[in-house]
């Protein structure tokens, strides 16, 4: 039945279809509050100029460095339940990387230029690290072992020159040099480099997924890809159905691809993803609980990714330094710790050894940024790198340039 009063008259008389009196007033005030202060999304909370991405990346690299220092020097590393903290930190790296490189791809709108940026960010620092290990740290380690430093360059089946050559393509085919080893029997000169091949594979995967679709299709494709990778990881880890992937595409690739794609989905769905402390608390509880399971990623990967992205916009440390030391700290801390162990620095005790190794690694990371990574990134806008295939989408977040992006 139609009403004989207008909405304005009904409001004055205190009678509407919503009810009357205090109940109606509460509903009206609630609706006005929701309209004035809508739930904040990741897109609204993320400020490209003031966020915690840089500090989180350095912090995650620091967690890995500390864990490896305790493992290399003293035979243990911190864990949460049955999950090493270093594994969680590396997963966090991949979540943030997925978020960042998806921004980069959609902002650049060119697969070729995106690939050029990724190569500049990954390979120059990696190649320089291989050379420093082969020409400086390996001879120093040989000297500490009482051997001829020059012999490691060419002697034996795994000389230093071969270490550089066979590993230059990111796939680590030679881990040691000339049988150098710590007293505990560790022979890998840099046990952190193996993850970089998976990062490069994830770069390619997100380019393939996003370069062929418009914005709406990108969202659907990323959602489906996350489910497919999660299901594949479930089949391999729980049901034990063996997959026959090519070369390095094993369960490690599935693990990294899952968290990477979740980070990418965080960017593509940023305008729909609420940023709520209650969600963060619940996600943190799930992450802690699943850390006690054999594989925390199967039940907890989505919550872990949400917690990482929530921290990006809510952590109070929102300083973006002009030098990005996270990559250098990640690739140099292991060989530094290898040499310090041979030098007997473990005699200082656990935490003095940790502090010393991280400090030396940060010095090498600073040199890497100043001499290699920074100059390489200044070539990002080279004119000869044209557009190969544009990415058909709009960028949901404003993304001015950032060091290392």
How confident is the model at residue 118, as a pLDDT?
Answer: 94
How confident is the model at residue 247, as a pLDDT?
Answer: 43
The domain tally of the chain equals: 1
* pLDDT at position 323 over 60: yes
pLDDT (mean) for 382-393: 60
SS (H, E, C) the chain: CCCCCCHHHHHHHCEECCEEHHHHHHHHHHHHHHHHCCCCEHHHHCCCCCCCHHHHHHHHHHHHHHHHHHHHHHCCCCEECCEEHHHHHHHHHHHHHHHHHHHHHHHHCCHHHHHHHHHHHHHHHHHHHHHHHHHHHHHHHHHHCCCCCCHHHHCCCCCHHHHHHHHCCCCCCCCCCCCCCCCCCCCCCCCCHHHHHHHHHHHHHHHHHHHCCCHHHHHHHHHHHHHHHHHHHHHHHHHCCCCCCCCCCCHHHHHHHHHHHHHHHHHHCCCCCECCHHHHHHHHHHHHHHCCCCCCHHHHHHHHHHHHHHHHHHCCCCCCCCCCCHHHHHHHHHHHHHHHHHCCHHHHCHHHHHHHHHHHHHHHHHHHHHHHHHHHHCCCCCCCCCCCCCCCCCCCCCCCCCCCC
* pLDDT at position 46 over 60: yes
Higher pLDDT, residue 400 or 295:
295
How confident is the model at residue 281, as a pLDDT?
Answer: 95
* pLDDT at position 399 over 50: no
Q: Which of 108-122, 156-170, 247-261, 308-322 has the lowest mean pLDDT?
A: 247-261
* pLDDT at position 251 over 90: no
How confident is the model at residue 88, as a pLDDT?
Answer: 93
Alpha carbons 43 and 165: distance in angstroms, whole number: 43
Does 87 reside within a domain?
Answer: yes
Alpha carbons 94 and 399: distance in angstroms, whole number: 19
Residue 15's pLDDT band (cuts 50, 70, 90): very low
Higher pLDDT, residue 26 or 334:
334
Does 397 reside within a domain?
Answer: no
How confident is the model at residue 243, as a pLDDT?
Answer: 54
How confident is the model at residue 345, as a pLDDT?
Answer: 93
Residue 156's pLDDT band (cuts 50, 70, 90): confident
Q: Which of 22-36, 186-200, 233-247 has the lowest mean pLDDT?
A: 22-36
Does 399 reside within a domain?
Answer: no
41 bridge partner residues: 274
Task: Write the CA distances from 194 to 51, 91, 113, 324, 364, integer angstroms.
Answer: 29, 14, 25, 21, 19
Does 229 reside within a domain?
Answer: yes
Alpha carbons 146 and 55: distance in angstroms, whole number: 40
How confident is the model at residue 339, as a pLDDT?
Answer: 96
- CB-count burial class (<10 Å; 0-12, 13-18, 19+) for 142: buried
Residue 37's pLDDT band (cuts 50, 70, 90): very low
Q: Could you identify the residue written with the tokens 């380019």?
A: 207
Task: Tell me the pLDDT tens digit for each residue of 168-181.
Answer: 999 999 999 988 99
* pLDDT at position 396 over 50: no
Does 45 reside within a domain?
Answer: no
The residue range of the domain holding 173 is 52-377
pLDDT (mean) for 381-400: 55
pLDDT (mean) for 295-306: 89
How confident is the model at residue 29, as a pLDDT?
Answer: 44
Alpha carbons 282 and 96: distance in angstroms, whole number: 20
Residue 236's pLDDT band (cuts 50, 70, 90): confident
Does 339 reside within a domain?
Answer: yes
219 neighbors 268 (Cβ within 8 angstroms): yes
pTM of the model: 0.82
Residue 397's pLDDT band (cuts 50, 70, 90): very low
Percent share of the chain, pLDDT over 70: 81
* pLDDT at position 402 over 70: no
Does 148 reside within a domain?
Answer: yes
Q: How confident is the prediction for the chain on average, in pLDDT?
A: 83
Higher pLDDT, residue 87 or 250:
87
Does 13 reside within a domain?
Answer: no
């Amino acid at each position: 039945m139609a009403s004989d009063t207008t909405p304005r008259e009904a409001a004055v008389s205190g009678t509407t279809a919503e009810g009357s009196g205090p109940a109606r007033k509460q509903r009206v005030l609630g609706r006005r509050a929701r309209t004035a202060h809508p739930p904040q999304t990741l897109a609204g909370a993320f400020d490209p100029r003031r966020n915690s991405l840089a500090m989180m990346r350095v912090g995650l690299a620091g967690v890995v460095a500390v864990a490896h220092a305790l493992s290399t020097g003293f035979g243990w590393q911190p864990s949460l339940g049955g999950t090493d903290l270093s594994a969680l930190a590396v997963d966090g790296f991949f979540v943030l990387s997925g978020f960042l490189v998806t921004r980069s791809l959609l902002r650049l709108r060119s697969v070729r230029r995106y690939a050029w940026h990724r190569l500049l960010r990954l390979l120059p620092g990696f190649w320089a690290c291989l050379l420093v290990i082969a020409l400086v740290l390996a001879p120093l380690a040989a000297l500490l072992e009482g051997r001829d430093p020059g012999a490691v360059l060419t002697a034996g089946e795994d000389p230093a020159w071969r270490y550089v050559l066979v590993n230059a393509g990111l796939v680590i085919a030679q881990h040691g040099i000339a049988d150098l080893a710590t007293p505990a029997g560790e022979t890998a000169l840099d046990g952190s480099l193996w993850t970089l091949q998976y990062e490069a594979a994830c770069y390619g995967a997100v380019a393939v997924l996003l370069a062929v679709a418009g914005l709406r299709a990108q969202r659907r494709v990323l959602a489906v890809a996350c489910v497919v990778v999660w299901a594949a990881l479930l089949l391999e880890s729980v049901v034990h159905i063996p997959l026959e992937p090519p070369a390095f595409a094993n369960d490690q690739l599935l693990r990294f691809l899952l968290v990477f794609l979740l980070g990418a989905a965080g960017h593509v769905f940023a305008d729909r993803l609420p940023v709520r402390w209650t969600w963060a608390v619940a996600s943190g509880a799930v992450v802690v609980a699943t850390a006690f399971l054999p594989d925390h990623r199967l039940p907890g990967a989505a919550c872990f990714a949400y917690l990482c992205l929530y921290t990006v916009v809510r952590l109070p440390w929102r300083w973006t330094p002009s030098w990005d030391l996270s990559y250098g700290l990640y690739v140099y801390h292991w060989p530094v710790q290898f040499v310090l162990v041979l030098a007997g620095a473990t005699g200082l005790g656990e935490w003095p050894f940790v502090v010393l190794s991280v400090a030396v690694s940060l010095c090498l990371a600073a040199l890497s940024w100043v001499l290699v990574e920074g100059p390489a990134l200044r070539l990002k806008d080279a004119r000869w790198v044209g557009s190969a295939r544009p990415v058909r989408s709009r960028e949901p977040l404003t993304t001015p340039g950032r060091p290392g992006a």
